[in-house]
Structure 1
Amino acid sequence: MKVKICGITNLEDAQDAINAGADALGFVFYPKSPRFIEPFAARKIVEKLPPFVMTVGLFVNEDNSFIKQACNNAKMQLAQIIDDDNYTDFNSLDVRYIKVLRAQSKEDIDNISADDFVLVDAFVESFGGEGKRVALEWFDKKNNTNIILAGGLNENNLQELKGFKFYGLDVSSGVEASKGKKDKQKMINFINAANEI
């Protein structure tokens, strides 16, 4: 099970996440988030990371030029994009990306193409990090091997995901001591629990 720890704001949390076994680190380039980080501040962290760790920039309703510039400035390998307002032209975006589906119904899940990897999060007005969960029954009898699940995950509820065969998990608030500051033990416990699914 792949695990991304999102909302990294400092080097210590990044190193603790990697030592806990995280496959990817997420950096939030959405100014209204309490986990927001400037691209060049993220770059300073990224330049100190060991190899084989994926770096992911989170964007909310941004155009192509901003996404490309921020990814370049922060040395992001992947853009994770919420595009509810259709700011992003995915056809001409020359940055590797994954779309975020903020699911509000089972129909949203049913419409996911088997050809694309998608990150599915619960719909909240503030664009994530609120601990709200997606209804698991929406994924029943579906091939979920191209889906990364986010929203309301923590070490205590991962056993509920057994059998769904998600590609990966994305966690932020579930491994925090406070908004923007991770808890080392919670990250270790989360990844250990994810490996048991």
Structure 2
Amino acid sequence: MKVKICGITNLEDALDAIDAGADALGFVFYDKSPRYIDPFEARKIVDKLPPFIQTIGLFVNEPNSFINQVCINAKMQTAQIIDDDTFTDFKTLDSRYIKVLRAKSKADIEKVEDNYVLVDAFVESFGGEGKRLALEWFKDIDCSKMILAGGLNADNLKELSDFNFYGVDVSSGVEAHKGKKDKQKMINFIKAVNEI
């Protein structure tokens, strides 16, 4: 199972996440988030990362021009897009992308087409609140192209063992406080993923 550590704001956390075994690092380009990072500050971190680590930029209700420019400025390989207000024209985006489904019910998950998607719990503040999704919503659904986010930590990952998720995305579950990661929590989280 792939692991993305989201809400990276500094080089130390980025390198600690990689040392712990993260496959991808997420950078938040939503300026109302306590985990927001300026694109050029993100680029300084990305320039110091080892190879084979994916860099993912998180965007909330932004037009293509903004997403494209930030991905260039910050050297993001993939855009992770919340598009509740349909600002984004996915057909003409320059960057690779993954859509975020902010699920309110099982019916939302049942509508997912055969594409990779990140499924998060619906919260007004657009994530990072540690709110969990009801796992029973995923019963009898093919989760092999789904990345699960929301309320995950080292203690509850065992509950995912029957669902075959492609990956997990964690932010608040491995933090010391908002915007600062806890190295040991990241180590424990990825160890728990590997035991599933």
* Structures share fold, TM-score greater than 0.5: yes
Offset of residue 123 of structure 1: 0.1
Over 2 Å off, 4+ runs: none
- One-letter amino acid of the counterpart of residue 182, structure 1: K
State how far apart, in whole Å, the 2-side matches of 1:119 and 1:97 are: 11
Q: Within 5 Å, give how 1:171-190 maps onto structure 2.
A: 171-190=170-189
2:152 is paired with a residue whose SS is: coil
Offset of residue 92 of structure 1: 1.1
TM-score with structure 2 setting the length? 0.99
Offset of residue 95 of structure 1: 1.0
- The question of 1:102 aligning with 2:105 is answered no
1:26 is paired with a residue whose SS is: strand
Match of 2:143 in 1: 144
Count how many residue pairs are aligned between Structure 1 and Structure 2.
196
State how far apart, in whole Å, the 2-side matches of 1:94 and 1:9 are: 25
State how far apart, in whole Å, the 2-side matches of 1:180 and 1:77 are: 22
Q: Extract unaligned runs of 5+ from structure 2.
A: none
Give the superposed CA RMSD: 0.4
| Cα shift readout 1:95-118 (whole Å, capped 9, x = no counterpart) | 10000000001000001112x000
Match of 2:194 in 1: 195
Q: Within 5 Å, give how 1:57-136 maps onto structure 2.
A: 57-114=57-114, 116-136=115-135
| Cα shift readout 1:18-64 (whole Å, capped 9, x = no counterpart) | 00000000000000000000000000000000000000000000000
State how far apart, in whole Å, the 1-side matches of 2:59 and 2:87 are: 11
State how far apart, in whole Å, the 1-side matches of 2:2 and 2:92 are: 28
- One-letter amino acid of the counterpart of residue 47, structure 2: E
State how far apart, in whole Å, the 1-side matches of 2:72 and 2:94 are: 11
- One-letter amino acid of the counterpart of residue 88, structure 1: T
2:66 is paired with a residue whose SS is: helix
TM-score with structure 1 setting the length? 0.99
State how far apart, in whole Å, the 2-side matches of 1:33 and 1:172 are: 12
1:91 is paired with a residue whose SS is: helix
State how far apart, in whole Å, the 2-side matches of 1:2 and 1:150 are: 12
Offset of residue 9 of structure 1: 0.1
State how far apart, in whole Å, the 1-side matches of 2:147 and 2:15 are: 22
- One-letter amino acid of the counterpart of residue 106, structure 1: K
Match of 1:159 in 2: 158
Offset of residue 163 of structure 1: 0.9
1:59 is paired with a residue whose SS is: strand
| Cα shift readout 1:106-163 (whole Å, capped 9, x = no counterpart) | 000001112x000000000000000001110010011100000000000000011111
Offset of residue 190 of structure 1: 0.1
